[in-house]
């Protein structure tokens, strides 16, 4: 009885051993953009849209990189409408530090402009006395660090009525 169990166990292990195979990975890149380059001493895989949170494990002769690939090439665009009565337009955005702020003023409101970094610190403050109609103010923040800033535009009428708008500024070098 014991011999039969041992023989059955050996037969099952033998069959499992014959059918088991290991997985091998070839250096293949499937991405919306990028490529794979190889030389006698190294290989390099490049992709567009790969997340920055990537972890790589290496051992003798093996490299495993974990990450996410962007399946398709997406394009995002924003249509900037013309400046209408009361509208505020910041252009170009994103920018390299030089941009314009255009707004219409129909009631001689005093305008206070403040710009904040993402830590909430005021990095720029400007008070303007706009004329009635379209006003355009040029800004140069090219000395600031690359990143996102929030612009607060507060208009105060002669009657003391306040209106505040917030706009995102993307500074890219």
pLDDT at residue number 83: 44
CA-to-CA separations, 17 to 22, 41, 130, in angstroms, rounded: 11, 36, 83
Domains defined along the chain, listed by start: 28-73 (no CATH), 88-171 (2.60.40.2550)
pLDDT tens digit string along 60-106? 776 666 655 445 555 666 665 554 445 788 888 889 999 999 988 87
Lowest-confidence pick of 28-32, 119-123, 136-140, 144-148:
28-32
């Amino acid at each position: 009885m014991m011999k039969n169990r041992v023989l059955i166990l050996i037969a099952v292990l033998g069959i499992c051993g014959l059918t088991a195979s290991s997985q091998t990975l070839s250096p293949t890149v499937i991405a919306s953009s990028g490529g794979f380059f190889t030389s006698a001493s190294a290989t390099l895989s490049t992709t567009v849209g790969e997340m920055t949170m990537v972890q790589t494990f290496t051992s003798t002769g093996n490299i495993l990189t974990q990450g996410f690939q962007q399946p398709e090439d997406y394009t995002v665009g924003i249509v900037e409408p013309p400046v209408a009565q009361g509208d505020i337009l910041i252009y170009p955005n994103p920018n390299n530090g030089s941009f314009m702020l255009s707004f219409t003023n129909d009631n001689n409101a005093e305008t206070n402009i403040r710009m904040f970094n993402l830590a909430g610190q005021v990095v720029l403050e400007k008070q303007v006395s706009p004329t009635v109609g379209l006003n355009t103010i040029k800004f140069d923040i090219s000395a600031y660090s690359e990143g996102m800033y929030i612009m607060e535009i507060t208009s105060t009428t002669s009657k003391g009525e306040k209106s505040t708008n917030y706009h995102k500024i993307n500074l890219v070098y």
